Amino acid sequence: MTTEKKSGKQATKGQKQIVEENAKTLNFYRNMMITGFMTTLTCWFLLFIRIHTFDIVLTTLSVFIQFCCYRFMVYMARAKYTETGQLIDGGVDLNMESGISEHIKDTIILITILQLRTRKVSNHFCLLLLLQPITVLWIIRVKIKHNAFSQEMAVESIVDKTGSVLEGEQKRKFSRNTDLAS
């Protein structure tokens, strides 16, 4: 027997699969954050790197941002169970394409990379932390503009359809009137 898959439709995930994948995703990003922070501490204390107040402030800020992003992902992925232990809702799929969780994961990755780079190369890499708010503003701008543009296009298409229907009716009336006149 051969099994054929329907093309055109993506297979949907079950709620249990979403819960399992969310747990793996959260575990991965938690480990990434801890590794980045522990590498920073190791560089500071084992390599006897001079620690300035600027370093402490930037590291604290980056850890705080990562923690907030991680907690937001945990909140989004929270599954709901009945009293008997049956799964009601698996939470938001953190691995969904073009969702908000994708941007949160990008933020965690960016900050971890910046943590590792600033300790080894230069503290000026921390200025790249400004990329994230700029990216967020860009995404908001594009989505709002896209939604407004989509609504304008929908209104225009409705107007065009209505106009073409009216034109068709006028042509039929005109042709009827010319047929009657002749």
Question: What gap in Å lies between CA 80 and CA 91, rounded to an integer?
Answer: 7
Is the Cα torsion angle 142, 148, 152, 154 positive or negative in sign? positive
Q: What is the pLDDT of residues 5-37, one digit of tens each?
A: 444 545 456 888 888 888 999 999 999 999 988
Q: What is the predicted pLDDT for the residue at 125?
A: 65
List all residues 6 or more positions away from 44 whose beta carbon is below 8 Å from its beta carbon: 51, 55, 119
Q: What is the pLDDT of residues 96-145, one digit of tens each?
A: 887 788 888 888 888 888 877 765 566 666 667 777 777 777 777 777 77
Q: Do the Cβ atoms of 136 and 103 come closer than 8 Å?
A: yes
Q: Do the Cβ atoms of 64 and 140 come closer than 8 Å?
A: no
Give me the helices (H) in the chain, please: 15-46, 53-76, 100-120, 131-181
pTM confidence score: 0.64
Q: What is the predicted pLDDT for the residue at 118?
A: 65
List all residues 6 or more positions away from 101 whose beta carbon is below 8 Å from its beta carbon: 73, 76, 92, 93, 94, 95
Q: What is the predicted pLDDT for the residue at 27?
A: 94
Phi first, then psi: give them for residue 80, nearest 5 degrees.
-115, 130
For the ranges 105-114, 150-159, 170-179, the maximum mean pLDDT occurs at 105-114
Residue 50 DSSP symbol: P
The pLDDT confidence band at residue 4, using thresholds 50, 70 and 90, is: very low
Q: What is the pLDDT of residues 56-88, one digit of tens each?
A: 888 888 888 889 989 999 998 888 888 888 887
Q: Do the Cβ atoms of 77 and 26 come closer than 8 Å?
A: yes
* Residue-range domain boundaries for the chain: 15-181
